[in-house]
A = this chain, B = another copy of it.
Amino acid sequence: MPQRLAVIGGNPAGMSAASVAKRRDPDLEIVAFERGPYTSYAACGIPYLIGGDIKEVDDLVARSPDEHRRNGIDVRTRTEVVAIDLAARTLTARDEHTREETTEPFDQLLIATGAHATPPPIPGAEATEPARTLDAAEKLRAEVVRHGDHAVVIGAGYIGLEMAENLVQRGMQVTMVDRAPQVMGTLDPDMAEHVQDAAEGHGVKVLLNVDITEIVRDDAGRPTLVRTSEGDLQADHVVIGTGARPDVELASAAGLTVGETTGALVVDDHLRVPGHDGVFAAGDCVESHHRILDAPVNIQLGTHANQQGRIAGLNIAGGDARFPGVLGTAISRICRYEVARTGLTEREAAEAGIDAVAITTKARTRAEYYPGAGPIWVKLVAERGGGRLLGGQIVGTETAGKRIDTIATALWAGMTADDLQFVDLAYAPPVSPVRDPVLVAARALAGR
């Protein structure tokens, strides 16, 4: 009798796993449940949909439910899984239209429930749907096109910044508000400053160290005003760009273990849930092993979700694939800058109790004399005394950001700054100065 796999979550982690498993084991029966109407879409593209660089919602859909169905995966959209019974090996699924519940058996289970935004504890915030899903993004785009020209973005992290930039591109007057003293909390303050410069240069008003006390709405429920510790802000639109928490309620209720420090599901390096044979989890809802910290973390990135989904899929189909952990490498294009990080920031290293040294160097993205050369700041963090590299951050104009991959690869291999400074990197005047910016930083840090 063919085995049956149930997948909870039609996002990239869940559907990668389903697709890989089906390809490896065509006899496997697969059913996938997704709350919303879309599958396998790139949530990372949402800000550009708001801004207009991306024209159609469908552009962000890598594979639609029908495409998955044609590949033999039984996709149930607008269907929420409301309970899992691991002993009986069944789950309860509820059709969002009919509200009907069905019991679905499974032999193997993949939990890819993702993460959900956590609206700040502000009166009026709960009515603002975070634009994390395509549905929500469509609604926001329609509203932005329809009326008003003042937007307030709550949260100055990378999602807030990307949204702010794209709202400016839509012709909005945008104010971004954060309680923190800096934008882009995933960078060290000295690097984040350049990002703030870029956002302000683009026309975003940045308010830091500011508390929001209320989002005021009209009778129709539309926002009109955001009250803050520094006064009122006109707000035809409010966008929430604060953090998201792993969606573990369902799995937790079924008895799965949630990591204490991460709030995410505990899995082993094969994406198996320990102690529950045939149960896997992948994507934003799980813990990953951080290779530098040597500790579990929950970092929500599409790259990790994709890789994990693929590995879970291989293992579900009887393979023996291992997910070797993460560095938390991330990049954003924010206003005129590319902003990237990998490994630990200086602050994170200190928080982890590591005796670290850090250095920031400034260079140019191309040969000094070549048209289009712009600034690039590279920050490197390493164990004091010439020890291994711990992390890197880059801010700079076009082409600056992906250079973080060089640092990520060096981190992955356990290199020191002294090792990295000599790596034979590519140079030609249109793409780099002869002294590569990453090598310049490594040289400055070597031996410290």
Q: Which residues of A contact B (CB under 8 A)?
A: 12, 42, 44-45, 48, 53-54, 59-60, 62, 291, 301-304, 306-307, 323-333, 338, 340, 342, 367-371, 398-399, 401-406, 408-410, 412-415, 419-420, 422-432, 434-436, 438
Contact = CB atoms under 8 A, between A and B. Distances in A.
B401 A412 contact: no
Contacts of A368: 62
This chain: how many copies in the complex? 2
A432 to B, nearest CB: 7
B424 A412 contact: yes
A327 B424 contact: yes
A426 B409 contact: no
A419 B326 CA distance: 13
A324, A342, A406 interface centre (most CB from chain B within 10 Å): A406
The 5 closest A-B pairs by CB, nearest first: A413-B413, A331-B426, A59-B369, A409-B409, A327-B424
A431 B331 contact: yes
B434 A408 contact: no
Nearest to A399: B399
Contacts of A42: 367, 369, 429, 434
Contacts of A331: 426-428, 431-432
Contacts of A62: 368
A346 B432 CA distance: 26
Nearest to A56: B369
Nearest to A328: B424
A45 B370 contact: yes
Contacts of A409: 406, 409-410, 413, 415, 420, 423, 425
Contact of A434 (B306, B415, B426, B427): B306
B54 A369 contact: yes
A435 B307 CA distance: 9
